[in-house]
Amino acid sequence: MKRLLSVFLLFAILSLHTQPAFGQSDGPQISLLDRSGKTVTSIIDGNQVRLRIRLDADVNAQTRIAFTTPNVDGPLAECVIQTGSDSCDTPPFHALGWYWDPDGSAQTQRMIQASVNGSQASGSLTVNVIPRPVVMVHGFNSDYTAWTNYLGPNGYLAELGLQGFAVGDGQVPGVMDTGSLSDPFKRTNSIAQNAVILGEYIDNVQKVTGAEKVDLLVHSMGGMISRYYLDRVMTDDNVAQLIILGTPMAGSACSILPASLGMMLPATLEIQPGYMVNVFNQQIVKRQGVPFYALAGKKLLDAVASPCTPVPSDVVVTVDSVKAIPMPVEEIPLLHIELNTSREVFDGFVTRHLKTPPGGFEVAVDPPPGSNAPASQQFSRVYTGHVNKGETQEVVINIDPNVTVANFALFDTTRSLDTVVTGASGNQIQLDPLANGVIRIDDPSTMIYLGYGFRQPRPGRWVVTLETTDATPASGADFAIAARFDGGALLQATQDLTVTRVNQSVTITGSLTADGAPIPLTSAEAIIRAPDGSTETRVMRINGNQAEVEVAPRMSGIYGIEVNVLAQTAEGNTIDRAAFLTLDAEPTWFETSRNQILAVALILGLLVVSVILARRRRSIRR
């Protein structure tokens, strides 16, 4: 009898341990809750949700719940049912990637299942999923039409079932100003101002779609604007990822051409390497957890074919410039103007990131301030002017000994001028598309119109004759032209401050060497372009191969400083070099306080006017 009783007790104990912690149940009830706590069965990919499970009975021990979905490795979210309870909620999370499976197929419905202490439970929840929208941000001297291939019912995004919005397209309010050749001397918005507009545009997209997160797809300067938005403007966690096409994270020296004409300021100064490396990348580092993915163009591989940048480049942005900040960067043999239109880019790069499935979104870590400095570049001074219709104008550019490659870059507001090149020998040179890497780009966003180069150029005076054509308007054409040199003399320009206050003095220095030996200067000047577009030329103090000048900004904003020096070699050849710096002058405490007082006074004035008008209305009614 005792033996039978012992067997019975052992069987009862084993049965108790093998019984599920939630007791007998016909199946758990799974619910999806939105940000407000409301139970829903339909969501937009990326919106914040919680998952809830409720059992038929209280559990007698802590019970771990993992929510999963077919074809996706790992849990979507987890929670723990405490002893004596029958339910638990997961912490809030974003349903990122729910519209996509790992194989790239769209999932308009997603089945949510649950496992209880590692064992698959019966029952499931089917959720309708709508894809999150894509917001596209154009670059310098451009507008929403840069994304024509992506927009509309026949655009790239529609093929994936995605809704696309391009800043400035009128679908929702918000228009950035990054410059336009229709009015090139009109001041552009700053990066900061455009970032605020981008934020307003994203807010409006969220209102009309109900999406809490968007993907940002950006081209060129649009990446700089988007970085500023993430760091300084965004208050809600509303960006899923930043997909970058050809953004010059270390700037582009090609912008010295329109900047020297005083065109499209401050944008043409903000793009310069001096500003991006020494100011922007030192301050704009916060990513708010948003992952960055970048693509760089490398169409140009031969130095003679790259008019204003080292190679490899997409004409105006080098691969190294895109790689200047920490992020994964891929490369493709395309031009800058092709990156935002190419089918190959969309199919092979953009689509892959837009289709990121659940669990594929990394949380980005903020990098330290700073960036990789771009390769040192040597330029002649920028020669600017105006050619009247039917006339010509000559520009003399001196090439010094030991220059291995000389590239010429022309910015022409009308994109209509022709050039005739006369070498140091006095003979005209017939430009060959292959030997001289001739490139002509009829797109203002590239910041150049015509480029060509020469290997082992003969030292001496080179003359570029600019000629108008039938396409040149009656008003003529403004131009800027400069040469970029590989080899030869080296000008190094520095400044003791890159960010300063109004009226605070900044020391600018320049030194010229060749093969490590100092070259005495014959003249040196600094052309200072103020934020309002006005210029001042300052003669620099010369001491041997060095020159120096102090600059005290008189107004807040970004200044462009062009350091131009001349020297003579022992053989009598002229050395012509220029370096380009930027200076960010912040307002004084007095200016900031004055502006705040004026703003408060304006608000109070409006309130007083409102009160007076209200009283008048009441008196009229009486």
Residue 11 has pLDDT above 60, yes or no: no
pLDDT at 239 over 70: yes
Judge whether 415 lies within some domain: yes
**Judgement on whether residues 251 and 146 belong to the same structural domain of the protein:** yes
User: Helix H segments across 255-372?
Assistant: 256-260, 267-270, 273-275, 281-283, 319-322, 343-345, 351-354
Same domain (yes/no): 95, 138: no
Reported as a pLDDT band with limits 50, 70 and 90, residue 376 is confident
Using an 8 Å Cβ cutoff, are 248 and 325 in contact?
Answer: no
Give me the residue label for tokens 């009128």.
170
pTM exceeds 0.85 for this model = yes
Report yes or no: 265 and 191 within 8 Å, Cβ to Cβ. Answer: no
Angle, nearest 10°, between helix axes 221-228 and 191-209? 80
Same domain, 321 and 387: no
Whether residue 597 lies inside any domain: the answer is no
Average pLDDT (93-112) is: 97
- Percent of the chain past pLDDT 90, that is, above it, reads 87
Domain that holds residue 124: 16-130
- Euclidean distance between CA atoms 244 and 219, whole angstroms: 6
Give, in order, the Cα–Cα distances in Å from 308 to each of 256, 439, 446: 9, 12, 11
| CATH for 305 | 3.40.50.1820
Domain end residue (candidates: 101, 130, 159): 130
Under a CB-based contact definition with an 8 Å cutoff, are residues 214 and 134 in contact? yes
Instruction: Give the model's pLDDT for residue 12.
Output: 38
Helical segments of 214-370, H only: 221-228, 256-260, 267-270, 273-275, 281-283, 319-322, 343-345, 351-354
Least confident of 8-17, 129-138, 299-308, 557-566: 8-17
Assess contact for 59 and 50: CB atoms under 8 A. Answer: no
Q: Are residues 397 and 274 in the same domain?
A: no
Query: What DSSP element (H or E) covers 113?
Result: strand 109-116
Measured CA to CA, the distance from residue 402 to residue 280 in angstroms comes to: 35
Q: Of 217, 300, 293, 216, which Cα lies nearest the Cα of 254?
A: 300
Instruction: Decide: residue 18, CB within 10 A, 0-12 exposed, 13-18 middle, 19+ buried.
Output: exposed
pLDDT of residue 372: 87
Split at pLDDT 50, 70, 90, the class of 275 is: very high
Question: Is residue 190 included in any domain, yes or no?
Answer: yes
Query: What is the total count of domains within the chain?
Result: 3
Q: Name the band, by pLDDT with cuts 50, 70 and 90, for residue 279.
A: very high
288-311 average pLDDT score: 97
CA 575 to chain centroid, in Å, comes to 36
**What CA–CA distances, in Å, run from 23 to 63, 87, 113?**
11, 13, 19
Beta strand residue intervals within 401-468, DSSP E? 403-412, 418-422, 428-429, 439-440, 450-455, 460-467
Residue 429 lies in a domain: yes
Flag whether pLDDT at 37 surpasses 90: yes
Quick one: 111 and 147 in the same domain? no
Asked if residue 151 and residue 118 are part of one domain, the reply reads no
Does 365 fall in a domain? no
Give residue 621's pLDDT.
Answer: 60
pLDDT exceeds cutoff 90 at 13: no
| Alpha helix segments (H runs only) across 271-333 | 273-275, 281-283, 319-322
For residue 373, what pLDDT is reported?
81
Single out the residue in 84, 112, 130 at which a domain terminates: 130
Maximum CA extent, the chain: 123
What is the share, in percent, of the chain residues with pLDDT greater than 70?
Answer: 91
In a domain, 422, yes or no: yes
Specify the pLDDT at position 606: 65
Predicted pLDDT at 602? 62
* Residue 103 sits in the same domain as residue 191: no
Quickly list DSSP for 215-233. EEEEETHHHHHHHHIIIII
Where are the alpha helices (H) located in 154-209, listed in sequence order? 156-159, 191-209
Q: For position 194, what pLDDT does the model report?
A: 98
How many other CB atoms are there within 10 angstroms of residue 112's CB atom?
Answer: 21
Query: How far apart (Å, rounded) are the C-alpha atoms in residues 55 and 122?
Result: 11
| Per-residue CA distances from 331 to 221, 245, 314, 345, 362 (Å) | 18, 10, 10, 10, 21
- DSSP state for residue 147 in the 8-state scheme: G
Does residue 599 form part of some domain?
A: no
Averaged pLDDT score across all residues of the chain: 92
Residues 182 and 329 both lie in one domain: yes
Whole-number pLDDT of residue 444 = 75
**Is 181 among the domain residues?**
yes
Instruction: Look at residue 617 in the predicted model and tell me its pLDDT.
Output: 65
278 and 323 belong to one structural domain: yes
pLDDT of residue 17: 36
The CATH number assigned to the domain holding 87 equals 2.60.40.10
Task: Looking at the structure, tell me whether residues 413 and 560 fall in a common domain.
Answer: yes
Residue range 363-390: average pLDDT? 93
- Tokens (6 digits) for 567: 């020297």
Where residue 528 sits, what CATH number does that domain have?
2.60.40.1930
Domain stops at, among 97, 130, 163: 130
Distance in angstroms between the alpha carbons of the first and the last residue of the chain: 105
415-463 residue pLDDT tens: 999 999 999 999 999 999 999 999 999 887 789 999 999 999 999 999 9
Q: Can you give the pLDDT at residue 206?
A: 98
**Same domain, yes or no: 514 and 566:** yes
Indicate if 437 and 562 belong to the same structural domain: yes
The better pLDDT of the pair 180, 612 is held by 180
Q: What one-letter code names the amino acid at 34?
A: D
- Secondary structure (3-state) at 338: helix
Q: pLDDT, tens digit, for every residue of 600-620?
A: 666 666 677 666 766 666 666
Assess whether pLDDT exceeds 60 at residue 16.
no
In this predicted structure, the answer to whether residue 6 has a pLDDT above a threshold of 60 is no
- Quick: pLDDT tens for 340-352: 999 999 999 999 9
